Amino acid sequence: MGHIEKLKKLPPEREKVETVKILRQLSKSSQSLGELKGIARTIPNQVMLINAVVLQEAKDSSEIENIITTQDELYKALASKGKQPAQVKEVINYRKAIFTGFELIKKQGFLRLKDIESIQKTITENNAGIRAMPGTVLKNDKTGEIVYTPPQEKDEILDLLSNFLEHFNVNHTDLHPLINLAILHYQFESIHPFYDGNGRTGRILNILYLIINDLLDIPILYLSSYINENKSNYYKYLNQVNRTDQWEDYILYMLKAVEETANYTINKIHRIKNLLEITIEKVKNEAPKIYRKELVELLFEQPYSKIEFVVEKLKVERKAASRYLKTLENIGILKSEKIGRENLYLNKKLIEILKH
Ligand SMILES: Nc1ncnc2c1ncn2[C@@H]1O[C@H](COP(=O)(O)OP(=O)(O)OP(=O)(O)O)[C@@H](O)[C@H]1O
Ligand SMILES: [Mg+2]
């Protein structure tokens, strides 16, 4: 019954991870992902795009861990300096961890064990590090039944992690990187190296892996929302690999997640791009005196804007910055909201797009 064997090192047997069904799904997933990469490149301001998608992911990924926050709370937290509620902080930390990982990949092109540790530490804000005490088991949330026992000894965990990293950083097989993505994600979750935050850390590793392999330039494909919506199958298929070494359903699931999420994100980017163009036109026509490309872009980088942001980005006086924001409110592009002592200016239409 249940899990008997020790977790195997990578790679798994090829016939199990490269079936006809998998190859068929792979071609759809990789096409969608390629399209996403191409469309992302047509957006002039990459920061704007990254900010928009990353915050949504931070929210969705934290939700799997039952940390529920609203978009509004998050944007306010990003724009204001006030003290934040604990769960908002967790989501903001997750976002920070994505950026930390992205910077590391850009700088060095690979990850070391200590990088993964620092990602996990940023997410959970604790110093426990790699598991050193036995006793961690994975249970079914509802029934409490133990579904899987990850390696217990620190030496074994470290050994499996070094095998994991070897394959994460370099493709030693000629399997397609999207198949490897699924395999690596399974492996990381099954090693379960930390006491907590393994899911969230693993989901960040997924996006970094896509970037390492040039499947994307920037971190804009996130599977958390898909996993949230198809959670029971996610656990079921992970389990199936643990118990029976049957990979097909699990890999198909992950490839499907990539395809659907890429399509969803493509659609979102189109809508953001449209709104950006409309907004530029509107400011040019209705407030030509204050029109500057960077000003409009700022409203898309920071959907909750404020005087300080304008001062910093456009290098203008507070007085001018305030006038710009007020003018934009007058022509119906922004809506102001008082939070504490600060005035925040919301790009409402963008926020609507980002929400869905
Ligand atoms: N049978 C299983 N085999 C391998 N990994 C599993 C299995 N069941 C669950 N997991 C992984 O464990 C993760 C949860 O671990 P943990 O609580 O440490 O992470 P988290 O980030 O705090 O939570 P969450 O992933 O729920 O947001 C799940 O996201 C999943 O990836
Ligand atoms: Mg947890």
The string of pLDDT tens digits covering residues 210-256 is 999 999 999 999 999 999 999 999 999 999 999 999 999 999 999 99
Same domain, 50 and 132: yes
pTM > 0.85? yes
> Could you say which residues of the chain have pLDDT below 70?
1-5
- Report yes or no on 226 lying in a domain: yes
End-of-domain residue from the set 230, 264, 298: 264
Same domain, 199 and 345: no
Same domain, 202 and 349: no
239 Cα nearest atom in ligand 1: 1
Which of 60, 70, 161, 157 minimizes the C-alpha distance to 111?
161
Give the Cα separation of 68 and 90 in Å (integer): 10
Cβ of residue 239 lying under 6 Å from some atom of ligand 1:
yes
Cβ of residue 64 lying under 6 Å from some atom of ligand 1:
yes
- Residues 6 or more apart whose Cβ sits within 8 Å of residue 205: 101, 111, 116, 119, 168, 184, 185, 188
- Kindly report the CATH number assigned to the domain that includes residue 77: 1.10.3290.10
Predicted local distance difference test score (pLDDT) of residue 339: 81
Same domain, 238 and 301: no
Same domain, 257 and 166: yes
Give the Cα separation of 92 and 84 in Å (integer): 10
Determine the straight-line distance between the first and last CA of the chain, rounded to whole angstroms. Answer: 42
Give the closest residue (by CA) to ligand 1 atom 17. Answer: 196
End-of-domain residue from the set 199, 231, 264: 264
- Report yes or no on 208 lying in a domain: yes
Q: Which domain holds residue 144?
A: 21-264
Same domain, 217 and 334: no
- Report yes or no on 123 lying in a domain: yes
What tens digit of pLDDT does each residue of 130-170 get? 999 999 999 988 899 999 999 999 999 999 999 999 999 99
- Report yes or no on 306 lying in a domain: yes
Angle between helix axes 20-41 and 177-191 (nearest 10 degrees) is 100
Same domain, 247 and 295: no
Same domain, 350 and 227: no
In single-letter form, the type of residue at position 253 comes to: Y
- Report yes or no on 3 lying in a domain: no
- Kindly report the CATH number assigned to the domain that includes residue 342: 1.10.10.10
| CA angle at 80 for the pair 52 and 280, rounded to the nearest 5° | 45
57 three-state secondary structure: helix
End-of-domain residue from the set 229, 264, 299: 264
Same domain, 87 and 228: yes
Same domain, 224 and 318: no
Nearest 10 degrees: CA dihedral of 342, 347, 352, 356?
A: -90
Cβ of residue 238 lying under 6 Å from some atom of ligand 1:
yes
In a mutational test of the pocket of ligand 1, which residue from 198, 224, 225, 250 has the highest number of ligand atoms less than 8 Å from its CB?
198
- Report yes or no on 281 lying in a domain: no
- Report yes or no on 219 lying in a domain: yes
Which of 349, 339, 345, 171 minimizes the C-alpha distance to 271?
349
Give the closest residue (by CA) to ligand 1 atom 20. Answer: 197
Predicted local distance difference test score (pLDDT) of residue 78: 85
Same domain, 111 and 250: yes
What is the count of structural domains for the chain? 2
- Report yes or no on 270 lying in a domain: no
To which H or E segment does residue 112 belong? none
Predicted local distance difference test score (pLDDT) of residue 71: 82
Same domain, 198 and 311: no
